[in-house]
Structure 1
Amino acid sequence: MIVYLRDVLDALDAATDSTVFVFSKKSERVLLFFEGSLADELEKNLTLEDALNDSDSYIPLPREYEIHEYQIMENFVNCLEDEDEARELLNSMHGKGAFRRFKEKVSLLSLEDRWYNHREEAYEKIAVEWCVKNGIKVIKYVE
């Protein structure tokens, strides 16, 4: 089995409560289910329940809560050398709206490039580990 890394990364980035992605072993494609329905016609009549119950044919990708975005944010803060920036970011991460406040603070501190590079590396690690665990060969770049 083979998958493009970009397809897995895009799926991880788009994972929400209402979007579920599975890898089809047969077509070697990442399939999107939105609110329980297949978003395209790649595999007609396939339901999310069928896909999740057929481990011989489909492998679910990590869901939003398996990705641990909050942990990725904490790891980023721990990598910062500037203690004031780190403290400001940590303070933004408490309570309701923590993700929004964190991203706003990253922008105010002009750390966007560093944050998004860190986040992309973390997601790539999750994607590659998922592929290895499931015996899927990863193609990093389209040639």
Structure 2
Amino acid sequence: MKLKVDLEDVLEALELRTRESNYFYYKKTGEVFMIMDDELRAGEEDPDLDKFPEWQRENIKAAVDIISTDDYIRLPDDYEIDDYSIMEDFCYSIEDEELREELLYAIRGNGAFRMFKDKIYQYDIEDQWYDYKGQKYKDIAIEWCEENNIEYQEN
């Protein structure tokens, strides 16, 4: 049986990821879901579910399953997706040399993401940026699907 996933679910996970969140694809259902670091840590131990709030118990059960089976595939995380490089590549894609250089200067040093965001709004190119970033994330999602032999569907 070929695995399947809705590409929008993968894209949403890539866009919403944080350093403390982990997204997994469940092979049996084709669903993508999130588990926080502390829930994964709890799943590594023999968790007493009564010690956790009701809303967290299902994720901890899933964490135990993730650790003890091969029914899950981790989606790319912050360490595998280099948002800075995507931002830098966007800067290099700008044809206007003066604007390109200003954007490249803005992303050097501390506060690079904030400075970049300020500049794209200042020059009214935020739509161009979000389209570019969206396409890069889509490329990453498709590559992940292909590497894991998962068929994807687009809506």
What TM bracket, shorter-length normalisation?
A: 0.7 to 0.9
Instruction: Give the one of 83, 88, 91 matched to 2:97.
Output: 83
Using the aligned pairs only, state the percent identity. 37
Instruction: Give the one of 116, 133, 146 matched to 1:119.
Output: 133
Residue 53 (structure 1) shift: 5.8
TM-score, with structure 1 as normaliser: 0.88
Return 5+ residue gaps in structure 1 as ranges. Answer: none
Q: In structure 2, how many angstroms separate the alpha carbons of the residues matched to 1:61 and 1:40? A: 21
Structure 1 pair 98/19, CA: closer, same or farther in 2 (3 Å)? same
Does structure 2 conserve the Cα–Cα contact (< 8 Å) formed by 1:9 and 1:124?
A: yes
1:96 aligns with 2:98: no
Name segments (4+ residues, structure 1) moved above 4 Å: 38-44
Structure 1 pair 41/121, CA: closer, same or farther in 2 (3 Å)? farther
Structure 1 pair 116/53, CA: closer, same or farther in 2 (3 Å)? farther
Q: Determine helix, strand or coil for the equivalent of 2:76.
A: coil
Q: Determine helix, strand or coil for the equivalent of 1:26.
A: coil
Does structure 2 conserve the Cα–Cα contact (< 8 Å) formed by 1:52 and 1:59?
A: no
Q: In structure 1, how many angstroms separate the alpha carbons of the residues matched to 2:4 and 2:56? A: 20
Instruction: Give the one of 11, 14, 34 matched to 2:13.
Output: 11
Instruction: Give the one of 31, 36, 43 matched to 2:33.
Output: 31
1:51 aligns with 2:66: yes
Q: In structure 1, how many angstroms separate the alpha carbons of the residues matched to 2:38 and 2:73? A: 16
Q: Determine helix, strand or coil for the equivalent of 2:135.
A: helix
Residue 27 (structure 1) shift: 1.5
Structure 1 pair 53/101, CA: closer, same or farther in 2 (3 Å)? farther
Q: Which has the larger radius of gyration?
A: 2
Q: What is the aligned-residue RMSD (CA, Å)? A: 2.1
Residue 100 (structure 1) shift: 1.4
Deviation sequence 1:64-85 (CA, Å, 0-9, x none): 1211111111111111110111
Q: In structure 1, how many angstroms separate the alpha carbons of the residues matched to 2:17 and 2:59? A: 20
TM-score, with structure 2 as normaliser: 0.82
Q: How many residues align?
A: 139
Residue 101 (structure 1) shift: 1.1
Q: In structure 1, how many angstroms separate the alpha carbons of the residues matched to 2:8 and 2:102? A: 32
